[in-house]
Amino acid sequence: MLFPKDEVWELFKSWAIVTLVFTIAYASDAFDGPPIDVAAYVLFVFIASGIGAGSGFLLHEIAHKMVAQHYGLEAQYKGNDSVPIISIFVAFAGWILLAPGAVHIRGRTIGRNASAYISAAGPATNIALAAAFLPALAVTSGLVQDIAWFGFKINSWLALFNLLPVPGFDGQKLLASDKVLYLSLAAAAVYLVYFL
């Protein structure tokens, strides 16, 4: 079975945590600026977080899983039960600190190419999602455009953040396996974040 029931539940829980954390962190802006309809703003942030951040996280992890399975490895997403509680409390300060879970991969020893592609799959997915939101910024207005902007921004940052060459991050594993692929994805993420 591609997605066992317990894995689907873990993915859903993590999607909900990501959506909630981004909602709390961004909705706090409603109390800092000029008077607005707070309920409407919180609802907007919730929808935008679910679409932009939630789907970005979900598809990032599924991409790792699918590529790992392509190489004949066992791969299953497992949620992190302790960090999400900390993430929710930190979000009330307007900060985002997330590690809701990860894809755990087991199986035979794989080569550098397979390792590189598995590591690259998540950030590459976020880059593709960010690019997918761009047309909506150009051809829509109002709520749809606002959600598209949120999705573009969050996925651009998710790609760049995950590409940091820090132990345990996709960037560190990718840099060790394929420097050209790493630099290509990092350049794309930097371009999305700082130049668009």
Averaged pLDDT score across all residues of the chain: 89
Q: Beta partners for 75?
A: 105
Nearest to 57 by CA among 156, 182, 177, 155: 155
The low-confidence residues of the chain, meaning pLDDT below 50, are: none
- Of the candidates 126, 148, 128, the one whose C-alpha atom is nearest the C-alpha of residue 137 is 148
Tokens of 151: 């999705």
Q: What is the pLDDT of residues 69-101, one digit of tens each?
A: 999 999 999 988 777 778 888 888 888 888 888
Q: What is the pLDDT of residue 99?
A: 82
Question: What is the separation, in whole angstroms, between the first and last Cα of the chain?
Answer: 40
Q: Using an 8 Å Cβ cutoff, are 61 and 103 in contact? A: yes
How many angstroms separate the CA atoms of 31 and 25, rounded?
12
Domain residue spans in the chain?
A: 5-195
Model-level pTM greater than 0.85?
A: yes
Can you give the pLDDT at residue 34? 60
What is the amino acid identity at position 119?
S
- State the pLDDT at residue 31: 59
